[in-house]
């Protein structure tokens, strides 16, 4: 019986690591630009679908690179043609524009690839068993990739000028500009990191399961919950938040109807916002 | 001609729905992205009560109160949040409401939906009742718009706009900002519930699929396209959007291309939202910003 | 303001101008999911209908007039199905309408058809409730009442006394799950655990663990293709060893394509018909000729039969008024042997069916023989 809960827990941690990947991108953008990018979810889906498209031409392993590169271009185009021109306007304008953008990109996926479920076509393989807990190879890859990416962000934050700039910008955009930090460069870096993380996470999820046009928005809502748990703009909080959501929704199914699996993260969003809007894991303030 | 009345009724329902969102979004500056939840609460309450044997008119009235009450209940805690966060909280609430309708089969019959919802005031079910229902809906819509006009021109409405522009100024004038916002959300939810009830009794069938995130985007588009913060903006927006949708039916699209219609329509909606924000955030009908100095 | 008024007038005037009925054709309406989540299926339905239509018109149409099917998209939603049927009845004034796929959409439109005495026929809607729709509503496809019984009999005949039951959380799954449960329990079976799973998710590991917890000998999974494939694949990875029993909606080569080896050994029920009849052989042949690169889609045979039966009824009907067509339709279907077998309507406008068993064997869908 306890094996059952351990297994649920393991699945939760792995799912949570990927949510964290999405949440970090979302929270970095929020930290610098102070707005919630609703179109972030579409970067997840486009990363996966582009890999599918490129893998028809070149081997799968090689297809990932152009796919991630094009996703980064989409993100930079978003910034350049939509978000940057709107930056000086009221917050609602930016928010509605990002909702519109997300709807546009999602329907673009449906137009190009149809609403049907797609698959990379990997054969199903028996999972590996450790101490009675089964994990698939993809799940292990997902977890490792998440660790490597998050380690990269940690190094970036801690050891580079860019990281210092990020932190400064998160504290105060104006002050950062005054002391001569090149905000254009920082902004670009944030979008690139955000898009690379989203696309990679999307590809991993698609390898693990399938591709479908709604995959972006479904994961975006989880990422929202993770960001809010961690306190917006807080990278480490996003990581912990992601793990928490992953575990909560997987363990929750043991007690509720599986129909409410998604509801767990929505309920968490509301609960956090109501009771502790600064986030539960808003520790390590200096790392913001 | 009944088909034409059918579209008009749908458009009028969206007029009410969009106007109710406009009260929150346009006047009070509250980004409610879960407004469809109150539309759903209105629709389900009214449908369930009338299917249980209550008179449809009474069911509709009770549904309005339920929507308004749940709006106020959500607003009271959620309004502690500012701007974007209020948006996310309401978005989550909207999805929760849909999942509730989908999973609580004992109450809502889940994905099976509720068929055979009777129409109020003895209006016949089916197509023969449409013209009368049209008159019924027109009457209600006009009443709603008159009430909204009176409300937004009242001190309450003006105070809301002050809150939207600057909460501190509103406080300095001695306004109770919190109470103003709660009342705005309650009233917005009331009319959203009314639109939902009208929808349920008109289509005579509802299911959780009618209350998805897409509806939120659609109604948001109606408000933003028409012009938020104005009385006539959402009215125009709703008519343009609904007629655009139905017009697509009459385009001579080759049958093989049929599957491209809906994605392209979605892309157009998304693009319109983005372009509006970039080029004309005030929408077709701009607000007279008399409040600005 | 004037410009706005002009715009509004244009919007109003356009729909009215677009209508021009031709006198030398007989038009039948069809509400088909050409977009939205059921669009995957809609295209196949349409191709099967058009195949039959070609044959009808090649054989002289309806007493010399061309037969045409007027398609309305319903975006796979109930709301748009209602809009579509209102338009077909009031604007196009069509007496016969092919109903939409998905029982929830069909149930949403059937009161409207009944109210207006428009004949509504379904070729893929299975919900048991449709039986009660009224005397203007027919279907070529057997009711779930029969399939639920068939699935319960399958489980019992294979000697499974205790099963875990899961079904997709939509009108089809919930309805079929209920009928299965009733029949299985009545036959002395026991449901150890019962839960629904959401449509269109990518991760069903928790649901699978819940099945694994009980380590049942058999698990009944009434689901669609993509959900079924994902669940099979993930349960394979998780090492769940159980006999999967499935329904008709997941019987598709696409299931095997998506799930690969994990689909091996699945057994399911489906409404069947003999593949040895001359009708079926003819259908196979003409299908391959018209769509050489396409497999026969799910329910394609039913859609094909539907068009032929209607054509037969229209030819025999005294007039194109719906009550005459209705009488002719009942007459035309009496003893009609189509591709999908005997299509005689019972008093509720339902047809009978034979249930077969399918399985996946070395990567192919095959008939199950114990």
* pLDDT of residue B65 exceeding 90: yes
DSSP state of A286: G
Name the residue among A90, A111, A263 with its Cβ closest to that of B96: A263
Residues A58-105 have pLDDT tens digits of 888 889 999 999 999 999 999 889 888 888 777 778 888 898 999 999
Instruction: Give residues 108 to 127 of C whose Cβ lies within 8 Å of B.
Output: 108, 111-112, 114-116, 127
Q: In this complex, do B84 and A110 lie within 8 Å of one another by their Cβ atoms? A: no
Q: Whole-angstrom Cα distance, residue C236 to residue C131?
A: 39
Residue B290: pLDDT band (50, 70, 90) is low
* pLDDT of residue C21 exceeding 60: no
Q: Whole-angstrom Cα distance, residue C119 to residue A167?
A: 68
Residues C49-67 have pLDDT tens digits of 999 999 999 988 888 889 9
Task: Summarize the confidence of residues C175-182 as an average pLDDT.
Answer: 89
- Judged by average pLDDT, the poorest of A54-58, A167-171, A246-250, B212-216 is A167-171
Shortest Cα distance from B121 to chain A (angstroms)? 38
Task: Summarize the confidence of residues B62-79 as an average pLDDT.
Answer: 90
Residue A288: pLDDT band (50, 70, 90) is very low
Residue C198: pLDDT band (50, 70, 90) is confident
Q: Cα C216 to the chain's mean position, in Å?
A: 31
Q: In this complex, do B6 and C112 lie within 8 Å of one another by their Cβ atoms? A: no
Residues B84-101 have pLDDT tens digits of 778 888 888 998 999 899
Task: Summarize the confidence of residues C161-169 as an average pLDDT.
Answer: 90
Does A43 contact B at CB distance below 8 Å?
Answer: no
Does A101 contact B at CB distance below 8 Å?
Answer: yes
Name the residue among B115, B236, B247 with its Cβ closest to that of C107: B115
* pLDDT of residue C154 exceeding 50: yes
Average pLDDT of chain A to the nearest whole number: 83
Q: Nearest CA to A220 among A193, A202, A237, A240?
A: A202
Shortest Cα distance from A243 to chain C (angstroms)? 16
Does C42 contact B at CB distance below 8 Å?
Answer: yes
Beta bridge partners of C121: C98, C138
Q: Whole-angstrom Cα distance, residue C322 to residue C325?
A: 5
Q: Which range is most confident: A225-239, B41-55, C41-55, C346-360?
A: B41-55
Q: In this complex, do B85 and A221 lie within 8 Å of one another by their Cβ atoms? A: no
* pLDDT of residue B63 exceeding 60: yes
- Judged by average pLDDT, the poorest of A160-169, A264-273, B62-71, C267-276 is A160-169
* pLDDT of residue C5 exceeding 70: no
Does B4 contact C at CB distance below 8 Å?
Answer: yes
DSSP state of C336: -
| Number of residues that make up chain A | 288
Residues C81-116 have pLDDT tens digits of 888 888 888 888 899 999 898 888 888 888 888 888
Q: Cα B80 to the chain's mean position, in Å?
A: 23
Are the beta carbons of C354 and C341 closer than 8 angstroms?
yes
Interface with chain A: mutation pick from C206, C223, C260, C265, highest number of A CBs within 10 Å: C206
- Whole-number pLDDT of residue B255: 59
Name the residue among C197, C226, C259 with its Cβ closest to that of A258: C197
| All residues at 6 or more sequence positions from B226 whose CB lies less than 8 Å from its CB, including other chains | B18, B232, B233, B234, B235, B236, B237, B238, B240, B283, B284, B285
Residue indicated by tokens 């978003």:
A78
Does B7 contact A at CB distance below 8 Å?
Answer: no
Task: Summarize the confidence of residues C242-253 as an average pLDDT.
Answer: 86
Task: Summarize the confidence of residues B181-197 as an average pLDDT.
Answer: 94
Shortest Cα distance from A68 to chain C (angstroms)? 21
- Whole-number pLDDT of residue C127: 80
Between strands C162-168 and C190-197, the pairing is: parallel
Name the residue among B78, B95, B270 with its Cβ closest to that of A103: B270
- Whole-number pLDDT of residue A36: 83
Residues B117-156 have pLDDT tens digits of 888 887 776 667 788 899 999 999 999 999 999 998 888 8
Are the beta carbons of B43 and B197 closer than 8 angstroms?
yes
Find the helix or strand (DSSP H, E) in which C175 lies.
Answer: helix C171-186
Q: Whole-angstrom Cα distance, residue B222 to residue B156?
A: 24
Task: Give the Cα-Cα-Cα angle A110, A113, A119 (nearest 5 degrees).
Answer: 115
* pLDDT of residue C133 exceeding 80: yes
Q: Which residue of C has its CA nearest to B10?
A: C83
Residues A117-159 have pLDDT tens digits of 777 877 777 777 777 788 888 888 888 988 898 888 888 877 7
- Whole-number pLDDT of residue C19: 44
Residues B156-167 have pLDDT tens digits of 888 888 888 887
Residues B219-260 have pLDDT tens digits of 988 998 888 888 899 999 999 888 887 777 677 666 566 667
Chains that touch C (3 or more CB pairs under 8 A): A, B
Residue B292: pLDDT band (50, 70, 90) is very low
* pLDDT of residue A280 exceeding 70: no
Shortest Cα distance from A61 to chain C (angstroms)? 20
Residue C79: pLDDT band (50, 70, 90) is confident
- Judged by average pLDDT, the poorest of A16-20, A23-27, B113-117 is B113-117
Q: Which residue of C has its CA nearest to B256?
A: C43
| All residues at 6 or more sequence positions from A262 whose CB lies less than 8 Å from its CB, including other chains | A218, A221, A249, B95, B99, C198
Residues of B in contact with C196 (CB under 8 A): 103
* pLDDT of residue C11 exceeding 60: no
Does C134 contact B at CB distance below 8 Å?
Answer: no
- Judged by average pLDDT, the poorest of A251-260, B41-50, C230-239 is A251-260
- Judged by average pLDDT, the poorest of B250-254, C10-14, C113-117, C230-234 is C10-14
Residues of C in contact with B211 (CB under 8 A): none
Q: Which residue of B has its CA nearest to A228?
A: B85
C94 C-beta neighbours (distance < 10 Å), count:
24
Inter-chain CB pairs, A–B, below 8 Å: 134
Backbone torsions φ then ψ of A209, nearest 5 degrees: -125, -105
3-state secondary structure of A233: coil
Query: How large a percentage of chain B has pLDDT more than 70?
Result: 93
A128 C-beta neighbours (distance < 10 Å), count:
14
- Whole-number pLDDT of residue A67: 93
Query: How large a percentage of chain B has pLDDT more than 90?
Result: 35
Does B38 contact C at CB distance below 8 Å?
Answer: no
Are the beta carbons of A43 and A223 closer than 8 angstroms?
no
* pLDDT of residue A209 exceeding 70: yes
Q: In this complex, do A205 and C260 lie within 8 Å of one another by their Cβ atoms? A: no
Q: In this complex, do B259 and C84 lie within 8 Å of one another by their Cβ atoms? A: no
Residues of C in contact with A215 (CB under 8 A): 202
Q: Which residue has the higher pLDDT, A280 or A202?
A: A202
- Whole-number pLDDT of residue A5: 85
* pLDDT of residue C126 exceeding 90: no
Instruction: Give residues 38 to 97 of B whose Cβ lies within 8 Å of A.
Output: 77-78, 80-81, 83-85, 87-89, 91-93, 95-96
* pLDDT of residue B186 exceeding 50: yes
Residues of C in contact with A210 (CB under 8 A): 202, 226, 229-230, 258
Q: Whole-angstrom Cα distance, residue C54 to residue C289?
A: 12
Residue A286: pLDDT band (50, 70, 90) is very low
Inter-chain CB pairs, A–C, below 8 Å: 95
Query: How large a percentage of chain C has pLDDT more than 70?
Result: 94
Average pLDDT of chain C to the nearest whole number: 84
Residue indicated by tokens 């919630």:
A36
Distances (CA, A) of C233 to A120, C125, C195, C236, C256: 13, 28, 19, 5, 10
- Whole-number pLDDT of residue B293: 38
- Whole-number pLDDT of residue A211: 85
Residue A279: pLDDT band (50, 70, 90) is low
Residue C25: pLDDT band (50, 70, 90) is confident
Name the residue among B29, B89, B262 with its Cβ closest to that of A270: B89
Shortest Cα distance from A227 to chain C (angstroms)? 22
Name the residue among B112, B115, B205 with its Cβ closest to that of C175: B112
Name the residue among A89, A90, A104 with its Cβ closest to that of B271: A104
- Whole-number pLDDT of residue B289: 60
Q: Whole-angstrom Cα distance, residue C217 to residue A166?
A: 56
């Amino acid at each position: 019986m306890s094996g059952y809960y351990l297994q649920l827990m393991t699945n939760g941690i792995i799912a949570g690591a990927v949510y964290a990947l999405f949440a970090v991108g979302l929270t970095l953008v929020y930290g610098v630009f102070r707005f919630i990018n609703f179109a972030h979810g579409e970067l997840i889906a486009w990363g996966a679908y582009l890999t599918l498209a490129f893998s028809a031409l070149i081997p799968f392993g090689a297809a990932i690179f152009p796919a991630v590169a094009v996703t980064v271009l989409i993100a930079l185009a978003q910034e350049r043609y939509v978000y940057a021109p709107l930056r000086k306007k009221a917050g609602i304008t930016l928010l509605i524009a990002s909702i519109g953008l997300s709807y546009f990109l999602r329907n673009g996926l449906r137009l190009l690839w149809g609403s049907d479920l797609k698959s990379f076509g990997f054969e199903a393989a028996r999972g590996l068993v450790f101490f009675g807990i089964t994990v698939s190879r993809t799940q292990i890859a997902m977890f490792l990739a998440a660790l490597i990416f998050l380690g990269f962000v940690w190094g970036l934050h801690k050891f580079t000028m860019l990281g210092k700039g990020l932190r400064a910008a998160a504290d105060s955009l104006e002050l950062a500009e005054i002391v001569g930090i090149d905000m254009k460069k920082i902004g670009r870096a944030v979008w690139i990191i955000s898009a690379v993380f989203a696309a990679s996470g999307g590809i991993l999820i698609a390898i693990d399961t399938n591709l479908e046009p709604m995959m972006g928005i479904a994961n975006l809502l989880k990422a929202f919950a993770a960001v809010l748990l961690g306190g917006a703009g807080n990278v480490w909080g996003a990581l912990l938040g992601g793990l928490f959501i992953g575990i909560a929704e997987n363990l929750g199914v043991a007690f509720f109807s599986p129909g409410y699996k998604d509801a767990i993260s929505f309920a968490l969003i509301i609960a956090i916002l109501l009771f502790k809007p600064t986030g539960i894991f808003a520790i390590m303030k200096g790392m913001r | 001609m009944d088909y034409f009345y059918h579209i008009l009724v749908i458009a009028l329902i969206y007029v009410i729905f969009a106007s109710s969102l406009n009260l929150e979004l346009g006047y009070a500056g509250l980004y409610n992205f879960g407004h469809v939840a109150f539309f759903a609460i209105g629709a389900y309450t009214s449908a369930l009560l009338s299917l249980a044997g209550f008179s449809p008119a009474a069911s509709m009235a009770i549904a309005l109160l339920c929507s308004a009450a749940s709006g106020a209940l959500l607003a009271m805690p959620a309004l502690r949040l500012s701007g974007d966060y209020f948006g996310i909280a309401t978005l989550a609430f909207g999805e929760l409401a849909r999942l509730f309708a989908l999973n609580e089969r004992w109450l809502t019959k889940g994905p099976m939906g509720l068929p055979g919802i009777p129409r109020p005031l003895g209006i016949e079910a089916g197509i023969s009742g449409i013209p009368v229902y049209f008159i019924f809906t027109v009457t209600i819509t006009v009443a709603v718009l008159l009430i909204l006009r009176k409300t937004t021109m009242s001190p309450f409405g003006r105070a809301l706009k002050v809150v939207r522009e600057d909460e501190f100024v509103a406080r300095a004038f001695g306004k109770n900002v919190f109470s103003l916002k709660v009342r705005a959300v309650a009233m917005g939810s009331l009319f959203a519930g009314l639109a939902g009830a009208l929808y349920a009794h008109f289509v005579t069938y509802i299911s959780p699929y009618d209350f998805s995130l897409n509806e939120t985007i659609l109604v948001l588009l109606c408000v933003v396209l028409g012009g938020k913060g104005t009385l006539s903006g959402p009215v125009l927006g709703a008519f343009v959007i609904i007629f655009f949708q139905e017009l697509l039916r009459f385009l001579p699209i080759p049958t093989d291309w049929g599957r491209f219609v809906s994605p392209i329509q979605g892309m157009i909606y998304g693009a319109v939202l983005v372009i509006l924000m970039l080029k004309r955030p005030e929408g077709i009908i701009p607000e007279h910003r008399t409040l600005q100095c | 303001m004037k410009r706005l008024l002009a715009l509004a007038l244009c919007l109003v005037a356009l729909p009215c101008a677009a209508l021009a009925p031709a006198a030398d054709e007989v038009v039948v309406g069809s509400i088909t999911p050409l977009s939205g989540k059921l669009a995957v299926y809609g295209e196949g339905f349409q191709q099967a209908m058009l195949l039959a239509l070609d044959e009808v018109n090649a054989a002289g149409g309806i007493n010399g007039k061309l037969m045409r099917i007027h398609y309305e998209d319903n975006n796979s939603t109930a709301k748009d199905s209602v809009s579509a049927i209102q338009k077909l009845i009031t604007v196009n004034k069509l007496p016969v309408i092919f109903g939409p796929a998905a029982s929830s959409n069909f149930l949403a439109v059937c009161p409207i058809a009944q109210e207006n005495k428009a004949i509504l026929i379904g070729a893929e809607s299975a919900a048991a409730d449709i039986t009660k729709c009224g005397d203007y509503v027919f279907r070529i496809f057997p009711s779930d009442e029969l399939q639920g019984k068939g699935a319960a009999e399958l489980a019992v005949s294979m000697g499974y006394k205790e099963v875990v039951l899961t079904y997709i959380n939509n009108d089809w799954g919930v309805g079929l799950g209920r009928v299965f449960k009733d029949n299985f329990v009545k036959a002395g079976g026991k449901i150890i655990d019962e839960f629904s799973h959401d449509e269109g998710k990518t991760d069903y590991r928790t649901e699978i663990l819940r099945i694994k917890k009980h380590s049942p000998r058999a698990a009944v999974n009434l689901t669609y293709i993509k959900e079924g494939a994902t669940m099979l694949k993930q349960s394979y990875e998780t090492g769940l060893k159980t006999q999967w029993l499935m329904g008709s909606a997941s019987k598709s080569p696409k299931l095997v394509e998506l799930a690969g080896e994990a689909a091996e050994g699945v057994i399911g029920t489906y409404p069947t018909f003999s593949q040895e009849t001359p009708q079926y052989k003819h259908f196979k042949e003409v299908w391959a000729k018209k769509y050489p690169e396409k497999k026969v889609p799910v329910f394609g045979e039913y859609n094909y039969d539907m068009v032929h039966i209607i054509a037969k009824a229209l030819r025999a009907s005294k007039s194109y008024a719906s009550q005459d067509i209705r009488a002719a339709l009942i007459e035309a279907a009496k003893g009609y042997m189509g591709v999908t077998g005997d299509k005689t309507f019972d008093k509720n406008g339902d047809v009978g069916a034979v249930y077969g068993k399918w399985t996946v064997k070395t990567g192919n869908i095959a008939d199950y023989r114990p």
